[in-house]
Amino acid sequence: MTFRGFIAVDVPASPHLDAFAAELRNAGPSWKVVRTDQLHLTVKFLGDTEEGLVPEIAAAVQEATAGLRPFEIRIQGTGAFPSLARMNVIWVGVEGAELIARIADALDTSLESLGFPRERRPWTAHATLARKKGHRDLDRVRRLLEVHAKDAFGVHTVDAVHLKKSLLTPEGARYSIVETVQLTG
């Protein structure tokens, strides 16, 4: 059996983040907004993942996080990929994620031998909040992003890295944890 897998760090909801997500939902029907209780930083997207590889993937995550103690990240700022002019994805930024970038780099190397290709682009610290599904109300959303460009959405302690599975549904993706590696230092 296979599942759609990825390795991630959870980003907890906050009242300010919930309010921003609600503003995006109300801005128009052109965006599929992620539920804030499902928000995460994707460290490494795996795609089709054989269940039999779970122990080896968990061992790679354990190795990539060895010696790391829990650390804080700040959820701050908003933006869009590839740009505000051509928005396809709306994100919230993450500051203090240098250790997550190191984990992503280590996993890129170690998981290649299991058949997961290396990323073509460098890892960027962001959590996807919405994906474009239409072409209406883009100026309204662009203005929201400009207004909230420097907003602080909270501080979070990263104390675990998860192997997750994604189940695509008509209401959007639903994520569940397959394995967790705690940061213990």
Residues with catalytic roles: 40, 126
Distance in angstroms between the alpha carbons of the first and the last residue of the chain: 34
3-state secondary structure of 148: coil
Biggest alpha carbon–alpha carbon distance for the chain: 48
The Cα 110–Cα 61 span in angstroms is 9
Instruction: Tell me which residue has tokens 């990240």.
Output: 73
* CA gyration radius, the chain: 17
The Cα 7–Cα 21 span in angstroms is 23
The Cα 29–Cα 163 span in angstroms is 31
